[in-house]
């Protein structure tokens, strides 16, 4: 891996994205850490000279185009799509269609924008790796999560479709599907209530952390170029399935 090649990480202002930026920088990549909250990105970049902060809103095509322009002289070979999120815990019948649109736009359409924007750069470099952070919600439905489940199923399908369409090109496509991950913001944003968010992890001795997911990403990216991880489902030991979580209380 040339030191001049770089990895783009979206959603890098917190959680899995920030942990991934750190992990890839420590592994020798020049990392472009992207998100909307530039102050957080700058604090992250201050930790490691291999990390560069860059404002990005993947729901805005002009913002994506600006990133492409700003990185036109860089050898982008890795794209980690971490930006995403859930915004409700409602049943389908009680849900707000606007939330469905917001969830799909961020998780799915935003990822499509990034893939379209930077796959040509990978072709120019001569190899590349697209990583899509989906979820176990993209593999099995559950109640009160329709908007997020639908979006994550779409991301899983996106990864599978890309792998077919890019076959013959030296570009790997990997889906990482985490189960229960305890980060500082995901559940709080989804439920809008600190107490309700805390109950998601209540009694679970050791949920996955952002650093655990980042390690899975780092591992898949640093494998030999002929070795592709199609899909990697990761869960804490306490979580046997979406509906089967061991809690100590």
128-133 and 75-81 as β-strands: parallel, antiparallel, unpaired? parallel
CA dihedral (121, 110, 184, 140) in degrees, to 10, reads -110
| Residue 191 a catalytic site member | no
As a whole number of angstroms, the distance between CA 91 and CA 62 comes to 34
Backbone dihedral angles phi then psi of residue 55, each to the nearest 5 degrees: -65, 135
Residue 56 CA to residue 69 CA, distance in Å, equals 12
Distance CA 212, CA 204 (A): 16
Burial (Cβ within 10 Å: 0-12, 13-18, ≥19) of residue 123: middle
Q: Which pair of tokens denotes residue 4?
A: 């001049």
The one catalytic residue in 29, 142, 148, 191 is: 148
The catalytic residues are 148
């Amino acid at each position: 891996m040339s030191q001049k090649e770089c990895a783009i990480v979206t959603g890098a202002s917190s959680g899995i994205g920030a942990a991934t930026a750190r992990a890839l920088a420590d592994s020798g990549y020049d990392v472009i850490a992207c998100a909307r909250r530039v102050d957080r990105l700058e604090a992250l970049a201050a930790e490691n000279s291999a990390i560069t902060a860059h404002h990005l809103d993947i729901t805005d095509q002009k913002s994506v185009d600006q990133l492409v322009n700003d990185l036109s002289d860089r050898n982008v070979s890795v794209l980690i799509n971490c930006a995403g999120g859930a915004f409700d815990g409602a049943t389908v019948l009680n849900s707000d269609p606007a939330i469905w649109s917001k969830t799909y736009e961020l998780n799915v359409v935003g990822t499509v924008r990034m893939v379209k924007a930077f796959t040509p750069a990978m072709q120019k470099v001569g190899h590349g790796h697209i990583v899509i952070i989906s979820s176990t919600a993209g593999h099995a439905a559950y109640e009160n999560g329709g908007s997020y489940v639908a979006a994550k199923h779409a991301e899983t399908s996106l990864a599978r479709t890309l792998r077919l369409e890019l076959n013959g090109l030296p570009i790997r496509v990997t889906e990482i599907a985490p189960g229960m991950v305890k980060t500082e913001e995901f559940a709080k944003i989804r439920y809008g209530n600190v107490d309700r968010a805390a109950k998601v992890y209540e009694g679970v001795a050791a949920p996955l952390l952002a650093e655990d997911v980042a390690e899975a990403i780092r591992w898949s990216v640093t494998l030999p170029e002929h070795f592709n991880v199609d899909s990697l489902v990761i869960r804490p030991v306490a979580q046997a399935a979406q509906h089967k979580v061991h809690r100590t209380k």
